[in-house]
Amino acid sequence: MIVVRKIRNIKEKEQAFEIRRRVFVVEQEVDPAEEYDEDDEKCTHFIAFVDGEAAGTARWRFKEKGIIKLERFAVEKEYRGKGVGAALVKAVLEDLPLAEKVMMHAQLHAIPFYEKQGFETYGPEFDEAGIRHFAMKLKRN
């Protein structure tokens, strides 16, 4: 069973940061200086558990007036393709206050996944931390 919630304590935050370390720093070879930033203190963080095991994480933050940015979606390799990412997106979106725009930077390989979650690309492709990305925004119904 997948359970997603806002991070409630330091232990859960450490678990989330360890997931990010394994996914971004180890697996994708992102420089730790780029992965962990001052925004970590300003963000609302989430953690996903599968049968009690920490499996994924994400965060959101206010970017500028009327814009919310979703960030740092990471799912442990063994839990990918099992609904953890979709559960994280759903929980994060349900938590957001009203915003003019909800956006994110999505790695190229993840674009089809986020399109299924209601996002669309905009603007040109760009490099972030040595990985190709597109900006995406939540489609308005």
- Distance CA(15)–CA(56), nearest Å, equals 9
Query: What would the two tokens of residue 110 be?
Result: 């993840």
Q: pLDDT for 90-124, tens place per residue?
A: 999 999 988 889 999 999 999 999 999 999 999 99
Q: Which of 50, 127, 59 is nearest to 96 (CA)?
A: 59
Q: Which domains does the chain have, with CATH numbers?
A: 2-101 (3.40.630.30)
114, burial (CB in 10 Å: exposed 0-12, middle 13-18, buried 19+)? buried
CB 87 within 8 A of CB 120: no
Q: pLDDT for 7-45, tens place per residue?
A: 999 999 999 999 999 999 999 999 888 888 888 888 999
Is pTM, for the whole model, over 0.85?
yes
112, burial (CB in 10 Å: exposed 0-12, middle 13-18, buried 19+)? exposed
